[in-house]
Structure 1
Amino acid sequence: MLHTPPGQTGPTCVRVAVSRAPDAEQAAREAAAQIQNAATCFVLCFVPGHLDCQVVASVLDDTLHGLPVFGCSTAGQITTQGYEVNALLLIAFPKSHFRCSSVLFEPMNPLSSTDVAAQAQRADQRFQHTAGWHRLGLIFADGLSKQEDILISTLEAVLTDLPIFGGSAGDGLLFEKTFVLHKGNALSDAAVLLLVETDLPFQGVGFDHFLPAGLDIVVTDADPEQRKVFEINGAPAAQEYARLVGSSVEDLSPEIFAENPLLIQYNGNHYVRAISDADEDGALSFLAAIDDGLIMTLGLGQEITKTLKTGLDIRDRRGQRPDFILGFDCVLRKLEIEQKQLGGAVSEILADARLFGFNTYGEQHCGVHMNQTLVGVAFFVPDERTFF
């Protein structure tokens, strides 16, 4: 059912539909029933880990009579109620405000940057421009492909006038298989690029809650293809990391990794290189690109609710708040929030900001694949508003 928290109005430029049914077919039919099919250009769909993605994709394709549906499996959803884990979330983008074209990249691994560049350029050239409308790109990628770094840097290089925002698909922290949705199909080892045109003014969103500690940490042995680090500062990676954060190797956990990430510097900015796990041999697995000789530093966490409020305090040139924000929020942020028992407070902030989206295995923004970041797009009501 549609739900807006007490005292808050919902978005006027998109329609948000949610089902919490435990069965994939039932959830898809319940959510689809809330969509105004004839008025909709395309739908974004974010699927909880317990639902069969292929069933959801097929039922939505049938129920919505071929209306384009894109999206992915998730490690959590962000609905009108904030953080959820069992909600099938649909966001319907109306024809009155949006146009869309899609590109499917398959397979992801191995990824041919030449093929990606050619496909993206062809799609961009074919996507006719509407006078006075604005363009952006949305990317959803297999979160276990380990190819997002190459993908987003290639797209940024060839689509130079197109800001691109996105998230890597999750699976509820199982790290087994993730899916992207493309026109009735659920696909692993794939990515979907949406070229979107809108008459709504928009602003990019991207922030984390870490500052660099200032101490250089050097990767001295790594496998870039597998995103594995075997040595840091000449010592076994897990052992050295544990020493740096004041833990024992045995106590390393997703919560410790979430609260003590490593940062890299790129183009004058610091980006998180998050750790997913430590294996029995003492190697650390990362969720973004890593290489021999890479210099990093520990991230010092700031107060996460404060940085969230500040980051989402967005205004347009008239001083108006966004009509809605499409958001991609790293699951490791959510882990830290839950560990600190801040889930309720954060959900209230997200709901108040009208942010809808999902918890990711990585985020894409400014040509970079990153972690432990909230990335998104804030859309504003135009001067001449058309209600959906």
Structure 2
Amino acid sequence: MTRSDYPEATQKKPASDQVQRAVPSIGKALQQAGRITRTGSANARDPNAVAKLAEALAPLDELELVILFVSPLADIHTLGVDAARDLAPTRVVGCTTAGEIGETGYTDGEIIAIGIPRSHFCARVLLIDDLGNYNAQDQIDQIIRNRNEMAHETPDWTSEFAFLLIDGLSIKEDALTADLAPGLGPVPLFGGSAGDGTDFGATYVLSDGKARQNTAALLQIRSNCPIKVFNTDHLVPSAQRMVVTGADPARRLVHEINAEPAAREYARLLGKDPEQLTTFTFAAHPVVVRIGGQHHVRAIQQVVDTGDLLFFSAIDEGVVLTLAESLDMVDHLDRALSGLGEAQTPDVILACDCVLRRMEAQQKQLTTQISSLLAKHRAVGFCTYGEQVDSIHVNHTLTGVAIYPPTTSEPSERS
């Protein structure tokens, strides 16, 4: 992913109250007319990026929450400060990405914003700012309190979902999703692990004006809009299996497969040179495990210097891995997204798409077709280092929530 510099711009304009009262451009206003949610985008290198997002999302005092998906090209720390100031009084939450999904589909080097209005959404944000040292029961208790508060505030609203943003290099996704599940109960959860392009250097979660590592933000959302949380992938297990015979689960490292050095054995099963394994290889040849009667991808991130395989999600000795084969990626995505709009067209699909899917599309020269489908079905979001579905952390999937216009035109009674 190229880290090209944004062209030199004029000196940054000072923030003012006028930013909050800015009226969207005529083009943006027409585009968003009749929509429930609001979206905006800006170049990540533009020093006035947040002011432009404020203009696209205005009026800000009508919004319950703004979610930002931020290219690693941005100065995330400066952006956090700007967002807390220029998007006030709305609370802002977000994360860095491995690529963005905007109005035209896949994009890079941008900041994608989605604003959800108070007239249709009630939200709470649970920030867990030290993933190595938190009390699971305390988090569960707060989740339950948040649910009760929102139910009291909006008793006639019935839709709920939870959206998790988490440091994609924390190696804590599996444990955290399992820990939070008891507090969520029947509320569906989906989420994405923050990215850093293809550099795997540093990933951040943004909240309250600060960009933090080793952090997660759980967005609990209640709405009068019908919703559908979904998870889809285009992979099917093959007959080729292998057994993890040596691993370091705490670091998601596999030392041995079939009692042979891991990278060498994986390459042998593919008929490839172990010295030529790349991220594109892993994207094209994922492995899956069977959990609860279903297959879930356990994607490989990279080969480390020792020849071990570093995975994106939990792995352990004794696990049976199965090589997966790809169905037609474009056809499968078209059917999956069309199914979400079969009865009613979504107002928006908030999407977390694994970076490995994007790399596979690139390798197969399908990026344009995939982008067109994402745009057609109103998907916005980001490319991740992994996805969360209820209590499981997975890879190589498209996960998200479809949000539909409310079935009644009566105005909300929220003050």
Q: TM-score, normalised by structure 1?
A: 0.94
Partner of 2:393 in structure 1? 369
- 1:258 corresponds to: 283
3-state SS of paired residue (1:157): helix
Give the aligned partner of residue 3 of structure 2. Answer: none
Q: Match of 1:171, SS?
A: coil
Q: Trace 1:1-388 onto structure 2 (pairs within 5 A).
A: 12-20=35-43, 22-23=45-46, 25-36=47-58, 37-110=60-133, 112-129=135-152, 130-133=154-157, 134-315=159-340, 319-385=343-409
Could you report, residue by residue, the CA deviation over 1:297-351 in whole angstroms, capped at 9, with x for unpaired residues?
Answer: 111111111111111113468x222121000000110011111111111110000
Q: Rate the CA distance shift 1:45–1:182 in 2: closer, same or farther, 3 A.
A: same
Question: Any stretches of 5+ residues in structure 1 without a counterpart?
Answer: none
What SS class does the counterpart of residue 149 from structure 1 fall into? helix
Q: Quote the offset at 1:117 in angstroms.
A: 2.9
1:10 Cα deviation from its structure 2 partner: 7.8
Please give the alpha-carbon distance, in whole angstroms, between the structure 2 residues aligned to 1:2 and 1:233.
60
Q: SS at 1:369's partner residue?
A: strand
Equivalent pair of 1:329/1:358 in contact (CA under 8 Å): yes
Q: Deviations over 1:16-37 (max 9, x none)?
A: 11112523x4212211221221
Q: Distance in 1 between matches of 2:107 and 2:166?
A: 21
RMSD, aligned CA: 2.2
CA contact (8 A) 1:11 1:323 kept: no
Are the aligned partners of 1:58 and 1:185 in contact in 2 as well (CA < 8 Å)?
Answer: yes
Per-residue deviation, 1:196: 0.3
Q: 1:386 to 1:219 in 2, by over 3 A?
A: farther
CA distance in 1, matches of 2:359, 2:411: 37
Give secondary structure in 1 for the equivalent of 2:339: coil
Structure 1 SS opposite 2:301: strand
Maintained 8 Å contact 1:11/1:354: no
Q: How far, CA to CA, are the matches of 1:231 and 1:26 in structure 2?
A: 50
Are residues 337 and 61 of structure 1, via their aligned partners in 2, closer, same or farther at CA, if it must alter by over 3 Å?
Answer: same
CA, structure 1 residues 309+26, in 2 after alignment: closer, same or farther (shift >3 Å)? same
Contact 2:44/2:73 (8 A) holds in 1: no
**Distance in 2, Cα, partners of 1:104 & 1:188:** 12
Q: Is the 8 A contact 1:4 1:81 kept in 2?
A: no
Q: How many residues align?
A: 384
Deviations 1:104-142 (A, max 9, x none): 112112554344334433433444442231111110000
Q: Distance in 1 between matches of 2:119 and 2:350?
A: 18
| Percent identical residues | 36
Larger radius of gyration: 2
Instruction: Determine the structure 1 residue equivalent to 2:19.
Output: none
Tell whether the 8 Å contact from 2:194 to 2:204 is kept in structure 1 after alignment.
yes
AA in 1 matched with 2:91:
P
Residue identity opposite 1:357 in structure 2: G
Cα distance in 2, alignment partners of residues 145 and 245 from structure 1: 30
Q: Which amino acid is the alignment partner of residue 66 of structure 2? A: V
Task: Check the 8 A contact 1:316/1:380 in 2, yes or no.
Answer: no
Describe the superposition over 1:341-379 as per-residue Cα deviations: whole angstroms up to 9, x where unpaired: 111111100000000000000000131100010000011
- Do the aligned partners of 2:189 and 2:229 also contact (CA within 8 Å) in 1? no
- Give the Cα separation in 1 of the matches to 2:255 and 2:26: 48
**How many Å separate the matches in 1 of 2:163 and 2:215?**
14
| Structure 1 Cα separation of the partners of residues 273 and 235 of structure 2 | 23
- One-letter identity of the residue aligned with 1:50: L
Residue 111 to residue 258, structure 1, CA distance change in 2 (3 Å): farther
Q: Which segments of 5 or more consecutive residues in structure 2 lack a partner in the other structure?
A: 1-23
Aligned counterparts of 1:123 and 1:382: Cα–Cα separation in 2: 23
Measure how far apart 1:39 and its partner are.
Answer: 1.4
Distance in 2 (CA, whole Å) between partners of 1:11 and 1:300 is 41
> Structure 2: which amino acid aligns with 1:260?
H
Name the CA distance, whole Å, in 1 between partners of 2:27 and 2:405.
18
Q: Report the 3-state secondary structure (helix = DSSP H, G, I; strand = E; otherwise coil) of the residue aligned with 1:13.
A: coil
Write the distance in 1 (CA, Å) between the matches of 2:384 and 2:127: 19
The structure-2 alpha-carbon separation of the partners of 1:21 and 1:239, relative to structure 1 and needing over 3 Å to count, comes to closer
The range that moved more, 131-140 or 145-154, is: 131-140
- Partner SS for 2:48: helix
